[in-house]
Amino acid sequence: MQDRVLMTANALNGEVAPTVSERVRQIFHAYTETAADLTNELRAVRVLVPLMEVYDHDEDDLECMLRDVMADLRHACDLLGLPLHSMDRIAQGTYEAEVHEEGPAAHISEGWL
């Protein structure tokens, strides 16, 4: 849905905008070519690209893909006998520290690359 909104807005200006999925891939390739410092935006991109390659999903529905990934992580923790809830609390602390240090990842439409 978000991809369609971005494409529609740009189409009104006579432009053909990349979808969010295409934009994520562009950012990933730019990151790997420049070896830039790891920012929160790049942390997000480095996890999204491999997931987009593995999960069969509608390019317009990355939210659905991420919900599936979150459910699959729960299955993986069950399989490995890992404590999901305590791991999630630790991950939340890491996320909060990173956001405190550099702010939240900018929305992809803000053109941060």
Number of domains in the chain: 1
Q: What are phi and psi of 95, to 5 degrees?
A: -60, -50
CA max distance for the chain? 53
Confirm if 17 and 6 have CB atoms less than 8 A apart: yes
Nearest partner of 19 among 33, 31, 32, 8, judged by Cα: 8
Structure confidence at residue 41 (pLDDT):
83
The rounded distance, in Å, linking the Cα atoms of 113 and 101 is 19
**Residue 93 — pLDDT band, cuts 50, 70, 90?**
very high
pTM for the full predicted model: 0.66
- Domain hosting 93: range is 2-110
The single-letter code of the amino acid at 99 is V
